[in-house]
Structure 1
Amino acid sequence: MRTMTPTAIAELYFDCWARKDFTDLAARLSPDCRFTGVFGTANGPDEFLKGLSGMAAGTDSIVVRKRVADGSDVITWFDLAMGGAPATAVANWTHIEDGQISTVDVTFDPRAILAASS
């Protein structure tokens, strides 16, 4: 596996999400990776990819506004449109260890997305 910077790994995460194809991302997930977000949690690569695939299936668009890196931590601020709802601002913190994603924490206000789905 070739060496990638934390920023490049975060870019890969969002590229795979936009393409709805996580083949390239799977190798970049730590065996004990953890996801925590508004709609749930996931532990390990299988749960992580299952959850992200579910999000991707309902995603209309992702527009990255800004990505900021500090060592092995990358924060991506983006607009997420899902289920016909207006785009929602989202913050995604990705922590990289040894070239693999170990932690992703996501926060946003889900009210518009929930209202669109009801």
Structure 2
Amino acid sequence: MTDIRETSAAYFTAWKNRDFDSLRALLADDVTFVGPMATLDNADDCVAGLKGMSQILDDIDVAKVAVDGDDVLTWFDLHTTVAPPAPTVNWQAIVDGKIVAIRVAFDPRAIVAAG
């Protein structure tokens, strides 16, 4: 899979479906992740973090996707079982079909308060 829009969409589909083998296959081994609830520097830790979030994940409602070079920005509402939907942006850098960097921004206060 070389189209970065397809790679990014496959990431969200795999996470939503809790298909962590497929999700892991999309990540470079040394992928970096920076978000309000974690900073990680490898694929296995990234998958573990997404597995943790999937325990409260209810839906990912994508509103907009923008592609710029090797970067994909996805704006979505993160629906959880513990808090109101959180408007979220996910910025992925994708090189040679692999996600090499993920940056996420959302307000985690309601999720943290529920935990």
Q: Which residue of 2 aligns with 1:99?
A: 97
- After TM superposition, the runs of 4+ consecutive aligned structure 1 residues lying more than 3 A away are none
Q: Could you say what secondary structure the match of 1:86 adopts?
A: coil
Native 8 Å contact 1:83 1:113 kept in 2: no
Native 8 Å contact 2:92 2:101 kept in 1: yes
Unmatched 5+ stretches in structure 1: none
For 1:106, give the aligned amino acid: V
CA–CA separation in structure 1 for the residues paired with 2:39 and 2:94: 18
Deviation at 1:115, TM superposition (A): 2.8
Deviation at 1:31, TM superposition (A): 1.6
Aligned residues: 115
For 2:108, give the aligned amino acid: P
CA–CA separation in structure 2 for the residues paired with 1:32 and 1:116: 31
Paired residues for 1:1-118 under 5 Å? 3-117=1-115
For 2:68, give the aligned amino acid: D
Native 8 Å contact 2:77 2:87 kept in 1: yes
Percent identity of equivalent pairs? 41
Unmatched 5+ stretches in structure 2: none
TM-score by length of 2: 0.93
Native 8 Å contact 1:38 1:108 kept in 2: yes
Deviation at 1:33, TM superposition (A): 0.6
Q: Could you say what secondary structure the match of 2:100 adopts?
A: strand
